[in-house]
Amino acid sequence: MTLLSNLDCNEYLGFITRQMPSSVSTDEALAYMVSGCDVGFPVGRYVVIEDDGVKYLAKIVQSRVEDIYSIAKTPVISLEQELSMEVRYIPRFIALELIRECRGDACSPVTTPPQIHAKVRWARDGEVSKMLSLPSNGVELGYLALPSGEVLRSEFVKIPIDALKHHVLVVGTTGSGKTQLLKNMALDLVRNYSDCVVIAMDAVGHYHHLAMDNVETRVVIPMTNSLVGRLLRNIKVSEAKELAREFARRLVRYYLNEFYIRSGLKISGKVNIKVAYSREQEDAGKDKGYVVKVSKVIVKAKININNNDKEINVTLLPWALKSIDVMYRINDITGLLTEQAKLFYRRVINEVTDELPSNEKPTFKEIYEYLISPSNQSERGRTLVNYEAIANKLGIHPSTLENIVRAILSLVETRLFDVEHKAGDHKLVVKEPNYRELFKQGYVVVDLRTTSSLNQRIIVYRILNKLFRAMKPGGKRIAVVLVDEAHLFFPQTRDETEKRIIENQLTRIARLGRSRGIAVVFATHMPDDLNDAVLQLTNTKVILRSDERVLEKLGIPTSERRFLTVTDAGIGYVKSYAMKYPIYIKFEPKAFHLG
């Protein structure tokens, strides 16, 4: 036990000194403590200053160790002299940043400095959260922590649902814990909010494994013609139900192999599969030949990990688009058309539709093939292709038609449209799922691993547009969208047309979606490649380990960058309008995670 001016170091650390002025200005609030206690004073640690009914919450921002020879400015002319002189410590001077000023239970920003000789002590359990007025309800982010990673175990940091609906950006290098934080949040939301749907846009494959935490999971699997063809290779069936069941079995095998077996996990025992499908005759009046649509495949399986079995309950939802459903809205999901092309696109499509002999609406593939086919017109001895003839007829510049042709070709090459496969007398078709069922309470993963950047954007924008329509203004439901690798879907671009499309999507889902109960959590390790609108629309930012340049871009104070460039995984710096002061958090894995 060490005493300083009758202070017990087990109770108090020291007091505000008269030797250095304490000051509060519009720029900063600082005080200085003197202490003779034989304890460490780590930078970032919270202390409380008690001053005649007023309490101040402060943070250590500078810790100095000196002895009497430093004060006396005694010259040292050799190492021998340095080592021969007895070390005689003087009381330590600790610089404190004043954070909150509390009178009773009312806390506010600091407006007056503490009195000289006001006593200083460590903050007690729960005291920091109370003085910071941290939210007591909401989605848990982690423990309140210090920059060093030391945890205040009794104090949790939560983000209220209302703040979540003002959107969150998580930034950190690879391995800093971004994905784990998002999965922790998803697990908390699914378990504790009965009116919430969580939708994870998964470009890597990490979000499926929440099923291992006893979370019923709905998985949207985008299907291309090539993937369906691969799954149904060499299939031989005589009945429509056989086609549906065999497709379901092969889809389940594909899913388990991709997300569990390839990760080193094993399947234990029998896999239970239930398939929901519909069928209708392809040609009326014929006895055989059905069009089969598989709407969902329910899977129950046991996954063995460390000799323990965990049961997963997953519903697979095949997903593909019909040309007719998005024919006149392709720019909403692609941004491929120029301003001129947007003006004439509908007229061109109507012109093609009128020329094609089919009674049904044509597919993108049929439209493309028509546009590049020879017409019955010629010019200067050369036969014109149909898009050139249409350009002449409608008075449109050929380059505008060429942009439309390229856009349609890009859609055809995604192979996401009009997905079907012939098997004997029957045909399997894949369409969009029932979105009302997809967006009901629970957890949804959209598998985006194996698709191109254009495919990913089409899928994400389409599902977000459907979500926007499904969520009603003023409703009680919450939809939380997790967008990991957000720079892939909302990139920074110099193309003004593409930039406008991306920012329209962001405005629609983030700014307008807020009143519909939609919250978006963006995560990226490349904020330079992320559209600037994301930075503007996210009112809570969680910064994990990052490069100096990234921290500067995000406006992180220089004093914090020293820690954030080298901090361990799972430690983050949080800035939010829902919190009175930036804080550090530390989170630990709560959700099952591979990779």
For residue range 129-166, what is the model confidence (pLDDT) as tens digits? Answer: 999 999 999 999 999 999 988 999 889 999 999 999 99
| Position 126 in a domain | yes
At residue 111, the pLDDT reads 95
φ and ψ at residue 145, rounded to 5 degrees:
-140, 175
Which two three-digit tokens encode residue 573?
């710096």
Closest residue by Cα to residue 253 from 278, 224, 232: 232
Q: Are residues 577 and 460 in the same domain?
A: yes
Closest residue by Cα to residue 170 from 142, 134, 211: 142
Q: Is 267 exposed, middle or buried (0-12, 13-18, 19+ CB in 10 A)?
A: middle
| Position 6 in a domain | no
Residue 156: which CATH number? 3.40.50.300
Give the number of other Cβ atoms within 10 Å of residue 559's Cβ.
13
Mean pLDDT of 15-29: 93
Q: What percent of the chain stands above pLDDT 70? A: 95
Query: Which segments within 74-173 are labelled E, that is strand?
Result: 92-103, 106-109, 119-122, 139-145, 151-159, 168-171
| Position 4 in a domain | no
Query: Which segments within 492-590 are labelled E, that is strand?
Result: 518-524, 540-543, 571-576, 583-586
Tell me how many helices (H) and strands (E) the chain has. Answer: 19, 28
Residue-wise pLDDT for 42-98, tens only, equals 999 999 999 988 999 999 999 888 777 676 677 777 777 677 777 766 688 899 999
**DSSP class of residue 360?**
S
| Position 479 in a domain | yes
Give the number of other Cβ atoms within 10 Å of residue 177's Cβ.
26
| Position 241 in a domain | yes
pTM of whole model > 0.95? no
CA dihedral 114, 125, 544, 567 (to 10 degrees): 90
For residue 283, what are the domain limits?
224-318+422-429
Give the number of other Cβ atoms within 10 Å of residue 98's Cβ.
23
pLDDT higher at 508 or 371: 371
At residue 508, the pLDDT reads 87
Q: Are residues 151 and 260 in the same domain?
A: no
**DSSP assignments along 428-464, one per residue:** EEE----HHHHTSSEEEEEE-TTS-HHHHHHHHHHHH
At residue 260, the pLDDT reads 92
Determine contact, residues 218/463, Cβ cutoff 8 Å: no
At residue 595, the pLDDT reads 66
The helix (run of H) or strand (run of E) holding residue 186 is helix 178-192
Mean pLDDT of 120-132: 94
The helix (run of H) or strand (run of E) holding residue 197 is strand 196-202
Residue-wise pLDDT for 251-297, tens only, equals 999 999 999 998 889 999 899 999 999 998 876 555 578 999 999 99
| Position 380 in a domain | yes
Closest residue by Cα to residue 314 from 212, 204, 201, 168: 212
| Position 399 in a domain | yes
**DSSP class of residue 510?**
I
At residue 506, the pLDDT reads 87
Question: For residues 519 and 507, what is the distance between their CA atoms, to the nearest angstrom?
Answer: 12
SS3 for 138-158 is CEEEEEEECCCCCEEEEEEEE
At residue 244, the pLDDT reads 94
Domain final residue, candidates 383, 417, 451: 417
Residue-wise pLDDT for 210-241, tens only, equals 999 999 999 999 999 999 999 999 888 888 89
Q: Which of 332-341, 452-461, 470-479, 524-533 has the lowest mean pLDDT?
A: 332-341
Q: Are residues 193 and 331 in the same domain?
A: no
Is the model's pLDDT at 7 over the cut of 80? no
Q: Are residues 411 and 493 in the same domain?
A: no
Residue-wise pLDDT for 334-387, tens only, equals 878 888 898 999 999 999 998 888 767 899 999 999 999 999 888 888 999 999
Q: Are residues 120 and 150 in the same domain?
A: no
Q: Are residues 228 and 187 in the same domain?
A: no
Q: Are residues 313 and 349 in the same domain?
A: no
Mean pLDDT of 520-543: 92
Q: Are residues 398 and 448 in the same domain?
A: no
Where residue 23 falls among pLDDT bands split at 50, 70, 90?
very high
Question: For residues 542 and 572, what is the distance between their CA atoms, to the nearest angstrom?
Answer: 6
Q: Are residues 203 and 232 in the same domain?
A: no
Count of structural domains within the chain? 4
Residue-wise pLDDT for 29-54, tens only, equals 999 999 988 888 999 999 999 998 89
Q: How far does CA 457 lie from the centroid of its chain?
A: 15
Closest residue by Cα to residue 157 from 581, 585, 530: 585
Question: For residues 531 and 542, what is the distance between their CA atoms, to the nearest angstrom?
Answer: 17
Where residue 3 falls among pLDDT bands split at 50, 70, 90?
very low
Which two three-digit tokens encode residue 375?
């017409």
Rounded to the nearest integer, the mean pLDDT of the chain is 90
Question: For residues 24 and 108, what is the distance between their CA atoms, to the nearest angstrom?
Answer: 14
Helices 398-414 and 386-394 cross at an angle (nearest 10°) of: 140
At residue 359, the pLDDT reads 63
Q: Across the chain, which distance is largest between two alpha carbons, in Å? A: 109
Q: Are residues 483 and 533 in the same domain?
A: yes
Determine contact, residues 319/228, Cβ cutoff 8 Å: no
Is the model's pLDDT at 6 over the cut of 70? no
Which two three-digit tokens encode residue 104?
């009773």
Domain final residue, candidates 408, 429, 450: 429
Residue-wise pLDDT for 285-342, tens only, equals 555 789 999 999 999 999 988 778 899 999 999 999 999 999 998 887 887 888 889 8
Q: Are residues 533 and 570 in the same domain?
A: yes
At residue 594, the pLDDT reads 81
pLDDT higher at 411 or 83: 411
Q: Are residues 79 and 166 in the same domain?
A: no
Determine contact, residues 168/160, Cβ cutoff 8 Å: no
Question: For residues 367 and 386, what is the distance between their CA atoms, to the nearest angstrom?
Answer: 10
| Position 265 in a domain | yes
Closest residue by Cα to residue 482 from 251, 261, 270, 188: 188
Domain final residue, candidates 417, 452, 480: 417
At residue 269, the pLDDT reads 86
Is the model's pLDDT at 4 over the cut of 60? no
Helix (H, G, I), strand (E, B) or coil at 130: helix
